[in-house]
Amino acid sequence: MSTANQPRTVLITGATGGIGGALAAVYAESGTTLILQGRKAARLAELAALCEARGARVLTQVLDLRDQQALANWLAALGEHECLDLVIVNAGVNINIGPDGAGESWPDVEDLLAVNVYAAMATVAAVLPAMRVRAQGQIALISSLAAYFGLPVTPSYCASKAAIKAYGEALRGWLAGEGVRVSVVMPGYVESKMCREMPGPKPFLWSPERAASHIRRALARNQARISFPFPLNFGTWWLAVLPAALSQRILRLLGYGG
């Protein structure tokens, strides 16, 4: 039987990445089915072997999430055989304005929105009806501390993560009485390809393993907002609370000015 602390069937998008891979490992245990999506088939196979060695049953899916029809088809087919206890909407991409501040290219912005916003919301739209019928299930939306206040170096990324934060908060309120739990996860800097490619200082960097264990514990408590690490969460939260002009000045002073 699935419990809050031990979901039996866990779907993770972006499992081939730093945080997604660590989440897969942290949920991999006997009696658990992991459904892992990514684009890199070799990495998915490697991760599946690791999780199977820990006793989990593993299904993998190579899929480009920008293909909305393929995403919908996959989740519809999956829903016929699997009863999803926990869906972690984790896949994401980041772009920035470039070293000389030239700006983001529009095709890159469209790709980013396709993954970070459309695919994330399409995943929820596909898995939610079955959860509502069962009056059971949990959805974790991976946003970012960058959702609190737009960083000049990553405008589209911040916008996409703010969208996911607001979406998750709204879903939680809507579904609270129906038995479907929704959490918004707002990590600070976590070691990964995306993090390495992000410009600017990276204080309080966490390992993906530490982040994944923290997320699992907080999801078991059904925490509404899972934001970490504390010092960066506190600082970025203030950026949203202070007058925007002051927050802009603080960001410039701290080296995030763009």
- 225 part of the interface to ligand NAP, by CB under 6 A: no
CB of 97 closer than 8 Å to CB of 103: yes
Name every residue whose Cβ is closer than 8 Å to that of residue 97 and which is 6 or more positions away in sequence: 103, 104, 152, 153, 154, 155, 258
Instruction: Provide the 10 A C-beta neighbour count for residue 240.
Output: 13
Least distance from ligand NAP to the Cβ atom of residue 86, Å: 16
**4: nearest Cα among 134, 137, 142:** 137
Binding mask 105-124 for ligand NAP (x = CB under 6 A): ----------x---------
The yes or no reply on residue 64 touching ligand NAP (CB under 6 A) is yes
Q: Quick check: 93 binds ligand NAP (CB under 6 A)?
A: yes
Q: Which residue is nearest to ligand NAP (CB)?
A: 17
Distance from the Cα of residue 163 to its chain's centroid = 12
Out of 27, 148, 157, 167, pick the active-site residue: 157
HSE-CB for 216 with a 13 A CA cutoff: 21
Q: How far apart are alpha carbons 68 and 126 in whole angstroms?
A: 11
Q: Between 193 and 249, name the residue whose CB sits nearer to ligand NAP.
A: 193
Among 5, 29, 31, 40, binds ligand NAP (CB under 6 A): 40
189 part of the active site: no
Using CB under 6 A as the criterion, which residues of the chain lie in contact with ligand NAP when the complex forms? 14-20, 38-40, 64-66, 90-93, 115, 142, 144, 187, 189-190, 192-195
Catalytic residues: 157
